[in-house]
Amino acid sequence: MKLTANMEDYLEAVSFCANEEGIARVSDIRDMLGVKTPSVTGAIRALAEAKYVKHEPYRGVVLTSKGRRAAEDVKKRHAILSRFLTQVLGVNPKTADIDACKMEHAVSKETLEKLHTYLHKITDGK
Protein backbone atom coordinates (compact mmCIF):
# COMPACT_ATOMS: atom_id res chain seq x y z
CA MET A 1 0.00 0.00 0.00
CA LYS A 2 1.43 3.34 -1.06
CA LEU A 3 0.61 5.95 1.54
CA THR A 4 -1.67 8.71 0.36
CA ALA A 5 -1.47 12.25 1.74
CA ASN A 6 -4.57 11.46 3.78
CA MET A 7 -3.01 8.34 5.28
CA GLU A 8 0.18 10.27 6.09
CA ASP A 9 -1.97 12.81 7.95
CA TYR A 10 -3.50 10.00 10.01
CA LEU A 11 -0.07 8.59 10.89
CA GLU A 12 1.11 12.04 11.90
CA ALA A 13 -2.02 12.50 14.02
CA VAL A 14 -1.54 9.13 15.75
CA SER A 15 2.02 10.16 16.55
CA PHE A 16 0.96 13.54 17.97
CA CYS A 17 -1.98 12.14 19.93
CA ALA A 18 -0.15 9.19 21.50
CA ASN A 19 0.13 9.21 25.28
CA GLU A 20 3.17 8.10 27.29
CA GLU A 21 2.46 4.45 26.45
CA GLY A 22 2.27 5.27 22.74
CA ILE A 23 -1.49 4.82 22.56
CA ALA A 24 -3.66 7.30 20.67
CA ARG A 25 -7.42 7.45 21.14
CA VAL A 26 -9.65 7.49 18.07
CA SER A 27 -11.53 10.47 19.51
CA ASP A 28 -8.31 12.48 19.83
CA ILE A 29 -7.31 11.66 16.24
CA ARG A 30 -10.81 12.65 15.10
CA ASP A 31 -10.65 15.96 16.95
CA MET A 32 -7.16 16.79 15.72
CA LEU A 33 -8.04 16.16 12.08
CA GLY A 34 -11.55 17.59 12.29
CA VAL A 35 -13.19 14.53 10.76
CA LYS A 36 -15.96 12.14 11.80
CA THR A 37 -15.32 8.96 13.77
CA PRO A 38 -16.19 6.59 10.87
CA SER A 39 -13.51 8.31 8.77
CA VAL A 40 -10.91 7.67 11.46
CA THR A 41 -12.04 4.07 11.86
CA GLY A 42 -11.80 3.42 8.12
CA ALA A 43 -8.37 4.99 7.83
CA ILE A 44 -7.06 3.15 10.89
CA ARG A 45 -8.41 -0.13 9.49
CA ALA A 46 -6.54 0.44 6.22
CA LEU A 47 -3.35 1.43 8.06
CA ALA A 48 -3.63 -1.66 10.27
CA GLU A 49 -4.02 -3.91 7.22
CA ALA A 50 -0.85 -2.36 5.79
CA LYS A 51 0.95 -2.91 9.15
CA TYR A 52 1.45 0.79 9.95
CA VAL A 53 -0.62 0.65 13.14
CA LYS A 54 -2.17 -1.79 15.56
CA HIS A 55 -5.69 -1.03 16.68
CA GLU A 56 -7.36 -2.56 19.67
CA PRO A 57 -10.99 -1.48 19.95
CA TYR A 58 -11.71 0.37 23.21
CA ARG A 59 -7.96 0.54 23.89
CA GLY A 60 -6.54 2.71 21.11
CA VAL A 61 -4.15 2.92 18.20
CA VAL A 62 -0.41 2.25 18.36
CA LEU A 63 2.13 2.89 15.62
CA THR A 64 4.18 -0.10 14.55
CA SER A 65 7.88 0.42 13.84
CA LYS A 66 6.94 0.83 10.15
CA GLY A 67 4.28 3.37 11.11
CA ARG A 68 6.64 5.22 13.44
CA ARG A 69 9.22 5.60 10.64
CA ALA A 70 6.57 6.88 8.23
CA ALA A 71 5.12 9.31 10.81
CA GLU A 72 8.56 10.65 11.70
CA ASP A 73 9.30 11.19 8.01
CA VAL A 74 6.11 13.22 7.60
CA LYS A 75 6.86 15.24 10.75
CA LYS A 76 10.39 15.93 9.52
CA ARG A 77 9.14 17.14 6.12
CA HIS A 78 6.59 19.34 7.85
CA ALA A 79 9.17 20.85 10.21
CA ILE A 80 11.65 21.64 7.42
CA LEU A 81 8.99 23.24 5.24
CA SER A 82 7.46 25.20 8.09
CA ARG A 83 10.88 26.45 9.17
CA PHE A 84 11.74 27.53 5.62
CA LEU A 85 8.44 29.35 5.22
CA THR A 86 8.78 31.24 8.51
CA GLN A 87 12.52 31.89 8.72
CA VAL A 88 13.35 32.48 5.06
CA LEU A 89 10.15 33.77 3.53
CA GLY A 90 8.75 35.47 6.62
CA VAL A 91 5.37 33.72 6.50
CA ASN A 92 3.49 33.95 9.80
CA PRO A 93 3.71 30.69 11.78
CA LYS A 94 0.02 29.77 11.55
CA THR A 95 -0.05 30.14 7.76
CA ALA A 96 3.31 28.38 7.46
CA ASP A 97 1.96 25.42 9.44
CA ILE A 98 -1.10 25.14 7.21
CA ASP A 99 0.94 25.46 4.03
CA ALA A 100 3.62 23.03 5.23
CA CYS A 101 0.88 20.47 5.90
CA LYS A 102 -0.19 20.70 2.27
CA MET A 103 3.33 20.78 0.85
CA GLU A 104 4.78 17.94 2.94
CA HIS A 105 2.98 15.35 0.83
CA ALA A 106 4.16 16.63 -2.54
CA VAL A 107 7.74 17.81 -2.04
CA SER A 108 10.45 15.63 -3.57
CA LYS A 109 13.19 14.09 -1.47
CA GLU A 110 15.78 16.08 -3.44
CA THR A 111 14.06 19.41 -2.80
CA LEU A 112 13.61 18.61 0.87
CA GLU A 113 17.29 17.72 1.24
CA LYS A 114 18.28 20.99 -0.47
CA LEU A 115 15.97 22.99 1.83
CA HIS A 116 17.40 21.21 4.86
CA THR A 117 20.98 21.94 3.74
CA TYR A 118 20.09 25.58 3.02
CA LEU A 119 18.49 26.04 6.43
CA HIS A 120 21.59 24.65 8.12
CA LYS A 121 23.82 27.01 6.13
CA ILE A 122 21.86 30.10 7.09
CA THR A 123 21.58 28.97 10.71
CA ASP A 124 25.24 28.03 11.06
CA GLY A 125 26.39 31.10 9.10
CA LYS A 126 28.32 29.03 6.58
Judge contact between 12 and 82, C-beta under 8 A. Answer: no
The domains located in the chain, with CATH, are: 5-69 (1.10.10.10), 74-124 (1.10.60.10)
At 97, is the pLDDT very low, low, confident or very high (cuts 50, 70, 90)?
very high
Confidence of residue 9 (pLDDT cuts 50, 70, 90): very high
| pLDDT for res 126 | 55
- Choose between 124 and 61: higher pLDDT: 61
pLDDT mean over 35-42: 96
Global pTM value: 0.86
pLDDT of 36 above 70:
yes
Question: Closest Cα to residue 8, out of 94, 69, 80, 98?
Answer: 69
Tens of pLDDT, residues 16-29 = 999 999 999 999 99
Q: Name the nearest CA neighbour of 27 among 19, 42, 37.
A: 37
State the average pLDDT over residues 38-53.
97
Alpha carbon distance 104, 82 (integer Å): 9
> Region 81-107: what's the mean pLDDT?
95
Model confidence at 125, in pLDDT bands (50, 70, 90)?
low
Q: Supply the pLDDT for residue 123.
A: 79
